[in-house]
Every structure is written in C-alpha cells, then in structure tokens.
Amino acid sequence: MSILASKSQGKGGPDPIFAISDMAKVRAEEVGAQNIVNATIGSFLDSEGRLVTLKSVEEAMRSLDFSDACDYAPIAGLPRFIDAAIDAAFLDCRPEAYLAGMATPGGTGGLHNAFYNYLEEGATCITTDRYWGNYASLLDEIGRKLDTFNTFDGDKFDIKACLAKVHEYAAKQKNMMLLLNTPAHNPTGFSVTDDEWQILIKELSAVANNGVNNVILVIDVAYIDFAGPHGRDFFKLFTHLPDNFLVIVTFSMSKGYTLYGYRLGCMIGISSSQETIEEFKKANAYSSRATWSNCNRAAMLTMIEFADHPEKQAIFKAEQEDLRLSLVKRAETFITEANAVDLPICPYQAGFFITVPTKDVQEAQEIAAIMREDDIFVVPLGAGLRVAICAIPEEKITGMAAKFKEAFKRLEK
Ligand SMILES: Cc1ncc(COP(=O)(O)O)c(C=O)c1O
C-alpha cells in the first residue's frame, strides 16, 4: 500500500552510482582502501581518499564574522555576491548583453528554476545522450521531460544530431530548450568547440527568428574551472542575440571552490532584451522563495571576500589552477595508456570523468563486473563506463586502461 500522492508513487529507489560506490566501500573495509580502486565518486579526492579542499577558501571562510555568516541572505543573493559570481563565471569573456544573476543552491538549483520557469508542464528539454542522470530526475519531479540526441560523431560533438533534435522540438513546442553541459562534460569530459558554438548560435538564432519559437539555451558549467585557458571564450559569442533567445548559465561553487556541501551557485541570464532579464529576475526569485527560500550566506560572503581582496583572489586562483593541473596529469596518464593499448575512449578535453564506450548497456554492465573482480570500481552508465579520475590518484590510474582492455578481451572469448 502506498500513501504517497499518485504522482509520487513508484519514484525513488537505489541510485545505480551509489550502489556501485557502496560495493567499493564494502570491499575497502574487507581488504583496505589502499588495495582497491574506487573510481565512482564525483568529488576531487587526494591519494588518501580525502576530499581535497582549497586552503584559501578555508581561510576566507574562517575569517568571516560568524553571526553575519549565519544570517539570512536576500532571496536573489547578496548583490555583491551576484556581481562576484558573474565575474567568476565569465572572467574576461563577458558577453555584451543584459545580464542578471540569481543565487541558487549549487548548479542544481539553477537547473530546477530554468526547467520550471521556461518549460510548460509536459514539455521537453533536449540534451546529449550521454548526460548527468540527475537532469532526468529534475525534469521528471516537476512534470517535464528529457529527450536526447547522439553525443558524438566519431571524435567530435554530433552537431547534426543536435540540430535535428532542435528542429524536431521547435516544431512541437514554443519554447525550444537545449541543455548542454560544457565545457568539461560529465560523464565524458568533452567540450563544445568555439567553431561548433558559432554554428549552434547561428542555427538557434534562426529558430528564434522564425516567428514561432523562443529559444532557451541552458549551459551547465559545473566544471568550468577545470576547462583551462580559453574554456570561457565562447561566452563572448552570446552578444546581440535575438530578443527571444535567452541563455541561462548555471554556475556552481561546488567543484571549482571545493564547496560541494555548502550548496551555492548562481544562475545567470544573458539576453539582448532588458524586459526578458527583468522577467528572469522576478520569476526565478519567486521560484527560489517558493522552493528553498534563500541560499548559503557563508559561501556568498566567501566569494565576496575574494572579490574585495585581489591578493586573496590571486592566491585562490593559483591554488585552483594547481588543482586543475593535477587533474590534467591524471587524465594524461589514463589517455596515454589507453592509446598505448588501443582502448577507445570518448572525446575528452577536460574534467572530472573519462568514459570508456561500450557497444551497449549490457556490455557496460559486464565490463564493470569484470573490473570489480580486480577490485576496480567504475560506474556503468548507459553504453559506457564512467571513470572518475577526480577520485583516484595517478598511481591508481596507472595500469587501469590495460585492465579495461583485458576485460573487453575476456568478454569477447
Ligand atoms: C553535470 C553536472 N551538473 C551539475 C551538477 C550540480 O552540482 P551542484 O548542484 O553541486 O552545483 C553536477 C554535480 O555533480 C554535475 O555533475
């Protein structure tokens, strides 16, 4: 018997990522954490398996006045935080357009508001078929849907498949919403290139100008601080867009500031229309108030602390860069070895995860099971295996590609 409201019945249940993570934890207790490879966790961990945090962020946070940090923040966020978050998101690549920021609990909150306010009930958001699973839950929870298109054409973003889906949904619903997680996509690490962005923007502008549709482009930049130099250049392209083409950037402090649990992000609206931006502020502030109310003031003050003290900001940026470079080294180790043993991987430019593609969902499950026999824990996700290089030190990455190759060979026999 269920006493849940009818629309809530049947939802929930074990999360496939946490299920594999739990297997790794059980095994670590049996044989010792140092003797297993747990590449399931989506946080940056050091060689002892502890969460990496940035000293500059810790110091900025510890320097806050406690009662100030504990107070409520305005629903939209402290104005100086919003300015600082917009600066941090765009750096020197700010588009020439009207901009507005809204504090959100992580990038997740921004996604929720975007889905809720710009899609009719029952309408669909489109994204790549390799995607962060929570998109589907966020949409489903509020009675919206997800549809996907092929992510890659060989070693490139499948822009043709993307645009075909854009046109399919432009014919079905007024607000055509495209969601892209770039740069440094989860779970593959790919980034849309600037040339691809040019094509996308041209085509999406044509849709916006067709007299029927509005275009809502949601860009999930949760991993942007790991994208490296030029990772933000594409933002400049969102200049002089049609008035009914809204870009929503969901910026997060979880990964780049190592403040995962503090739950702070900023959804940033970019538009050529002041009216659209005013509406963005009003509607999203209302949704925030009606969903989680206000966000974490301590994390906002931390960001303000950096904005107000260039010397602290410089130390923070240097530390963040070291973190990025250590991830680059981990990725290089995996990719070099994958090339050496001829193990195909999905296109990777940057980010926390690398995906080893499989021919189908079943093969992914089988390879994951074989890898577990060697105490290597990776997450089967659709037709592929997600390797969280963020969670394992280089010494544990060494040899992993060869193990994958062996697993594929064993399966062939
Ligand atoms: C692709 C992607 N988008 C968004 C998020 C949201 O993270 P948060 O809400 O902590 O900012 C995550 C977190 O894992 C993610 O992987």
pLDDT in tens, 90-106: 999 999 999 999 999 99
Cβ-Cβ contacts under 8 Å for 162 (sequence gap 6 or more)? 128, 149, 178, 200
Residue pLDDT, tens place only, 289-320: 999 999 999 999 999 999 999 999 999 999 99
Please compute, for residue 42, the number of CA atoms within 13 A of its CA located in the half-sphere on the CB side: 19
pLDDT interval class at 109 (50, 70, 90): very high
Where does the chain hold its CATH 3.90.1150.10 domain(s)? 13-54+313-412
Say whether pLDDT at 15 is over 90: no
Which CATH superfamily hosts domain 13-54+313-412?
Aspartate Aminotransferase, domain 1 (3.90.1150.10)
Over residues 203-231, the mean pLDDT reads 97
CA–CA distance, 107 with 111 (Å, rounded to integer): 6
Q: Is the peptide bond before 183 cis (omega within 30 degrees of 0)?
A: yes
Where does the chain hold its CATH 3.40.640.10 domain(s)? 73-308
Q: Verify whether ligand 1 is closer than 6 Å to residue 42 (CB atom).
A: yes
pTM: 0.97
Q: Verify whether ligand 1 is closer than 6 Å to residue 110 (CB atom).
A: no
Q: Verify whether ligand 1 is closer than 6 Å to residue 186 (CB atom).
A: yes
Say whether pLDDT at 55 is over 90: yes
Q: Which of these, 55, 27, 128, lies nearest to 376 by C-alpha position?
A: 27
Say whether pLDDT at 13 is over 90: no
pLDDT at 411: 92
Q: Verify whether ligand 1 is closer than 6 Å to residue 225 (CB atom).
A: no
pLDDT at 16: 79
Instruction: Name the helix (H) or strand (E) containing 242.
Output: none
pLDDT at 238: 98
Q: Which amino acid, one-letter code, is at 128?
A: T
Over residues 351-373, the mean pLDDT reads 97
CATH architecture of structural domain 73-308: 3-Layer(aba) Sandwich (3.40)
Query: 250, 211 in Cβ contact below 8 A?
Result: no
Residue pLDDT, tens place only, 276-295: 999 999 999 999 999 999 99
Say whether pLDDT at 17 is over 90: no
Say whether pLDDT at 407 is over 90: yes
How would DSSP label each residue in 120-188?
-TT-EEEEESS--THHHHHHHHTT-EEEEE--EETTEE-HHHHHHHHHHHHTT-SEEEEEEE-SS-TTT
pLDDT at 412: 87
Say whether pLDDT at 413 is over 90: no
Cβ-Cβ contacts under 8 Å for 319 (sequence gap 6 or more)? 54, 55, 56
Cβ-Cβ contacts under 8 Å for 355 (sequence gap 6 or more)? 130, 187, 188, 189, 345, 346, 348, 381, 384, 385, 386, 387
Average pLDDT over the chain, rounded to whole?
97
Over residues 397-404, the mean pLDDT reads 97
Residue 65, both tokens: 């006045």
Residue pLDDT, tens place only, 154-190: 999 999 999 999 999 999 999 999 999 999 999 999 9
Q: Verify whether ligand 1 is closer than 6 Å to residue 157 (CB atom).
A: no
Report the residue among 138, 139, 186, 292 best suited for mutation to probe ligand 1: largest number of ligand atoms under 8 A from its CB.
Answer: 186
